[in-house]
Chain A
Amino acid sequence: MAEVIVITSGKGGVGKTTTSAAIGTGLAMRGYKTVVIDFDVGLRNLDLIMGCERRVVYDFVNVIRNEANLNQSLIRDKRVEDLFILPASQTRDKDTLDIEGVERVINQLAESFDYIVCDSPAGIERGAFMAMYFADQAVVVTNPEVSSVRDSDRILGLLASKTRRAEEGREPVKEHLLLTRYEPARVEKGEMLSVDDVKEILAIPLLGVIPESKDVLQASNAGSPIILASESDAGQAYEDAVSRLLGEDLVHRFVEVEKKGFFNKFRLFRS
């Protein structure tokens, strides 16, 4: 049975698509057959971040409307085996997703995939609701910033009440906090909320801390998920997050200011 993971946040632009691409790719690299679905109808972007924009023929809405079947619409990743993308529709209006249609597609995907990663649109409207409704787990992407934390808390409220698991009174959706765009140097100066601050307010388990990194823009320029940049700290932080998602217990890296010591300089010379 497939595990459905929604990547959600409430607030826009905090790193959901970056995270969906990274986690989906990471799971597939570990040998799990994974599909990443773009729920951002009208604002398709996952295809660009994953570098398959020119191979989109049919999309999620075509499948829901039975205009194309899943095999025609799924895009197989060229770098990582067992990784597939189901792109969002670009042109039609947002109300084309209906819950029965989404359910049908997810059930069909669940027959052959291990993980179904749902990249949620921003907001707390219909699109975000569709993306989270069938979730078994949720990665709540949060920036260390007041409006993002507040919106994450609202999303947690919806996960606890507006999902199928909640409605059926089953075990609740498993929640994970992913703090992204983190800058330890600013935290040290008291300019930015710390990991502990955010953890204390949201009170859910921490999946990982992704540092602010210039590599993320470069990765998106190239259409290559950041997790494939194995020398990048953000890429490594996503690797750790995937390991934790799979149950490994790792210490959190990149949460302290890196000391500019001899060994760091030494490493720079070597790499």
Chain B
Amino acid sequence: MRFLDFFRNNRKTTATVAKERLQIIVARERTTRNGPDYLPMMKEELLLVVRKYIQVEDGAVKVQLDKEGDCEVLELNITLPDEPTASS
């Protein structure tokens, strides 16, 4: 058993993989959690619009709905690549 464990330790256990996958998906779902249902779709469409002009990565558009007092604020964050390249 010990002997086998030695080899196994070099690889990630499936439990570790499960934990990492969960951390990522849960974090992502939490950001859109309390917003209206259209938020994820709006985000996808915004990404398409941005990409007409700038080639950004998949996760580049971040949409967040916050409350400031009685006021709801829709925060839009677009991370631009280091050297913006215009796509034709």
Chain A residues packing against B (C-beta within 8 Å): 145-146, 149-150, 153-154, 157, 160-161, 187, 189-194, 197, 200-201
Query: Are the CB atoms of B19 and A197 closer together than 8 Å?
Result: yes
Quote the shortest CB–CB distance from B5 to chain A (angstroms). Answer: 9
Cβ contacts under 8 Å, B15 to chain A: 187, 190-194, 197
Contact status of A191 and B13, CB under 8 A, knowing A161-B34, A201-B19: yes
20 further contact pairs, Cβ within 8 A, besides A160-B34, A193-B15? A146-B21, A150-B26, A153-B29, A154-B33, A157-B30, A161-B34, A189-B13, A190-B13, A190-B16, A191-B13, A191-B14, A192-B15, A193-B18, A194-B15, A197-B18, A197-B19, A200-B19, A201-B19, A201-B22, A201-B26
B77 within 8 A of A: no
B23 within 8 A of A: yes
Docked Cα-Cα span, A161 to B65, in Å, equals: 14
For the complex of A and B, list the 10 residue pairs with the smallest distance between their C-beta atoms, beginning with the closest: A190-B13, A157-B33, A197-B19, A190-B15, A153-B26, A146-B18, A201-B22, A161-B34, A193-B15, A149-B22
Docked Cα-Cα span, A150 to B13, in Å, equals: 19
B25 within 8 A of A: yes
B8 within 8 A of A: yes
Chain B residues packing against A (C-beta within 8 Å): 8, 13-16, 18-19, 21-23, 25-26, 29-30, 33-34
Quote the shortest CB–CB distance from B16 to chain A (angstroms). Answer: 7
Quote the shortest CB–CB distance from B19 to chain A (angstroms). Answer: 5
Cβ contacts under 8 Å, B21 to chain A: 146
Cβ contacts under 8 Å, A201 to chain B: 19, 22-23, 26
Cβ contacts under 8 Å, B30 to chain A: 153, 157
Docked Cα-Cα span, A112 to B46, in Å, equals: 55
Docked Cα-Cα span, A157 to B29, in Å, equals: 10
Contact status of A150 and B22, CB under 8 A, knowing A157-B30, A157-B34: yes
Docked Cα-Cα span, A236 to B32, in Å, equals: 39
Nearest-neighbor residue (CB-CB) of A145 within chain B: B18
Quote the shortest CB–CB distance from B12 to chain A (angstroms). Answer: 8
Quote the shortest CB–CB distance from B66 to chain A (angstroms). Answer: 14
Docked Cα-Cα span, A145 to B17, in Å, equals: 12
Cβ contacts under 8 Å, B26 to chain A: 149-150, 153, 201
Cβ contacts under 8 Å, A150 to chain B: 22, 25-26, 29
Quote the shortest CB–CB distance from A69 to chain B (angstroms). Answer: 39
Max chain B CB contacts within 10 Å: which of A187, A190, A197, A200? A190
Max chain A CB contacts within 10 Å: which of B15, B16, B25, B33? B15
Nearest-neighbor residue (CB-CB) of A162 within chain B: B34
Nearest-neighbor residue (CB-CB) of B33 within chain A: A157
Docked Cα-Cα span, A137 to B16, in Å, equals: 31
Quote the shortest CB–CB distance from B18 to chain A (angstroms). Answer: 5
Docked Cα-Cα span, A201 to B23, in Å, equals: 6
Query: Are the CB atoms of A190 and B19 closer together than 8 Å?
Result: no
Quote the shortest CB–CB distance from A185 to chain B (angstroms). Answer: 13
Docked Cα-Cα span, A160 to B15, in Å, equals: 28
Docked Cα-Cα span, A153 to B28, in Å, equals: 11
